[in-house]
Amino acid sequence: MGGHFDRFFQQWWGTLYKDFIITGIDGVWNDMNEPAVFNGRGGTMPEDNFHRGGGKLPAGPHLRYHNVYGLLMVKASRDGIMNVNSEKRPFVLSRANFLGGQKYAATWTGDNASTWEHFKMATPMVLNLGLSGQPFSGPDLGGYGGSPDADLFANWIAVGAFYPFCRSHSEKGTNDQEPWAFGKEVENVSRTALQRRYRLLPYLYTLFHEAAQTGLPVMRPVFFADVTDKSLRKEDEAFMWGNDLLIVPQWSEDPQLPEGIWNDISLLGNDVENDGYQPNLKQRGGSIIPVGSVIQSTEEFKTDSLTLLVCLDENNSATGTLYVDKGEGFDYRDGEFEVDIFKAEKTGENTITVKCEVEGKKQTKKQRFYQIGLVTNSGVNYSDWQNNNTVIISTKGSL
């Protein structure tokens, strides 16, 4: 009877999404699913509250299933959405989750406060979630409870653009928290931050594919750059995207950063001087980061024209990867995707040659327009746009 009840309840819950999804809604947000009971001890069910279990889950007290409850809810939610529209990738956001729940939902870090303390807590929280197998997470930018001032919000959104899950959110009764509500300066800071994120979408999407395949987090502690350097293990203000991009907040005091070649690309997405809020972006020597154009939403995302940021190592070479699929549906499971491998090396006294090779299950002959941005310790030198899979850039005066 317990197993029957469990399956019946999950199926019933999944049916509740039908009327929403058929209207064109793209995703759902599961809140209060710890579960929360406001007048209960500890804000939840009594520890000895009995759960029937069912299927592969044994019956047991709430103390055992408090955290698992959120996992079961998001799984049922995802299954319900898929039953309505099996051709579209579902999006589920959850406040509660458990090990394995990354297969079903993204997570945000809960109801934070609009304070510097909670702002600085967000980065280590997201890093730890990533290390715990949850690569898609982030806080409420600007804080949920209370009203941030302009300076706090500007700092928060500038760094928050680099959390895997990125959104501003606040509770009822607080001041307006849209970027323009803080004045023109903060509006411009926010625009620059979001433009950076949008331009880096080719790299970010590739990192999410890597996370899905390997379990590696998208947002990583700096000690991932050198696990033998013990000085990096306590750093929780600066962080990395993948192996190749280092994000260092402006407000960070004496951050512990990895040694080696890390050259600056901080003006990415901003054609004027740094506004004082954007974190410094540093690219690892030996890497190639694919960058797209400034867009207004992911609906405009394309990879037909890419800037390849090339940061050479001590041997004057670099490599990078780009993963591309349709961005919707599940054809990638049948091989409808491509993986581009970029390789750069010094081929002459004043030239660097960058080649693109397509690997993976789907071999494509599509040619893109490429621009090379040679990243050095004195700036970025850009080539002209070319539509060949081999691009040569002059290094004269750059290295």
- 320-337: pLDDT as tens digits: 999 999 999 999 999 999
> Long-range pairs for 302-307 at CB < 8 Å and ≥24 separation?
303/202, 303/368, 304/368, 304/369, 305/368, 305/369, 305/370, 305/371, 305/385, 306/202, 306/368, 306/369, 306/370, 306/371, 307/370, 307/371, 307/372, 307/373, 307/382
**Choice among 6-10, 141-145, 302-306, 383-387 with the minimum mean pLDDT:** 6-10
- Rounded average pLDDT over 276-295: 96
Determine the pLDDT at residue 240. 98
Of these residues, 111, 171, 275, 345, which one is catalytic? 111
Residue 187, token pair as written in the block: 């509006």
Residue 226 a catalytic site member: no
Determine the pLDDT at residue 398. 62
Which region, left, alpha or beta, applies to residue 49 given φ > 0 means left and ψ of -120 to 50 means alpha? beta
The residue to which tokens 């064109």 are assigned = 24
SS3 370: strand
C-beta of residue 221 within 8 angstroms of C-beta of residue 235: yes
At residue 5, does pLDDT exceed 90? Answer: no
Q: What Cα–Cα distance (Å) separates residue 289 from each residue in 101, 173, 299?
A: 30, 42, 22
Neighbours of 181 (CB within 10 A): 13
Angle formed at CA 123 by CA 144 and CA 152, multiple of 5 degrees:
50
Determine the pLDDT at residue 1. 33
Compute the mean pLDDT over every residue in the chain, rounded to the nearest whole number.
92
For 355, residues 6+ apart whose C-beta sits below 8 A from its C-beta are 342, 343, 344, 389, 390
- Rounded average pLDDT over 2-21: 76
Determine the pLDDT at residue 196. 96
At residue 2, does pLDDT exceed 50? Answer: no
For 160, counting Cβ atoms within 10 Å of its Cβ (0-12 exposed, 13-18 middle, 19+ buried), the class is: buried
- Rounded average pLDDT over 202-214: 97
- Rounded average pLDDT over 117-139: 97
CA-to-CA distance for 226 and 141, rounded, in angstroms? 30
Neighbours of 66 (CB within 10 A): 19
Q: What is the pTM of this model?
A: 0.94
Q: What Cα–Cα distance (Å) separates residue 197 from each residue in 70, 225, 294?
A: 29, 22, 9
For 210, residues 6+ apart whose C-beta sits below 8 A from its C-beta are 216, 218, 242, 323
CA-to-CA distance for 243 and 251, rounded, in angstroms? 23
Q: Specify the amino acid at residue 201.
A: L
Of these residues, 6, 19, 26, 34, which one is catalytic? 34
Determine the pLDDT at residue 259. 97
At residue 397, does pLDDT exceed 70? Answer: no
C-beta of residue 250 within 8 angstroms of C-beta of residue 278: yes
Residue 313 a catalytic site member: no
Indicate the DSSP class of residue 176.
Answer: P
CA-to-CA distance for 51 and 45, rounded, in angstroms? 11
CA-to-CA distance for 207 and 243, rounded, in angstroms? 9
pLDDT band, very low/low/confident/very high, at 82 (cuts 50, 70, 90): very high
Determine the pLDDT at residue 350. 86
C-beta of residue 183 within 8 angstroms of C-beta of residue 275: no
Q: What Cα–Cα distance (Å) separates residue 239 from each residue in 138, 219, 393?
A: 14, 7, 31
At residue 214, does pLDDT exceed 50? Answer: yes
Residue 384 a catalytic site member: no
Identify which of 215, 217, 220, 218 has the alpha carbon closest to the alpha carbon of residue 200: 218
The residue to which tokens 């080539």 are assigned = 383
Instruction: Calculate the CA dihedral of residues 46, 48, 50, 54 and round it to 10 degrees.
Output: 110
At residue 399, does pLDDT exceed 70? Answer: no
Dihedral sign from CA coordinates of 172, 178, 181, 182:
positive
SS3 308: strand
Dihedral sign from CA coordinates of 380, 383, 388, 392:
negative
| 149 phi and psi angles, rounded to 5 deg | -85, 175
Determine the pLDDT at residue 4. 46
Of these residues, 19, 26, 31, 331, which one is catalytic? 31
